[in-house]
Amino acid sequence: MKSTGIVRKVDELGRIVLPKELREIFKIDRKDPLEIYVDGDSIILRKYEPACIFCGSANEVVNYMDKRICRECIEKLKNE
């Protein structure tokens, strides 16, 4: 894991502010959802990218009847 050298305090409501530089690097905009992971004693934040309900891929995912499906799985379904 790479250290950024940035330190932030948790406020009274349990919030932290992500520095603008990091938000720009990772293309995180206001109100973008973030996923929270835990790895041992580390907390990992990742921009939420909805994935295909069948294969889990986040590549070329489209909404179909309120479900997220990748184009590859759509093609497989067409051929069945």
Phi, psi of 61 (to 5 degrees): -90, 135
Which pLDDT value is given to residue 34? Answer: 93
- CATH number, span 1-48: 2.10.260.10
pLDDT in tens, the chain (80 residues): 788 899 999 999 999 999 999 999 999 999 999 989 999 999 999 888 888 999 988 888 998 888 889 999 999 988 88
Question: 10 Å Cβ neighbour count for 52?
Answer: 20
Spell out the domain ranges in the chain. 1-48, 49-80
Which pLDDT value is given to residue 50? Answer: 83
pTM: 0.60
Amino acid letter for position 73: C
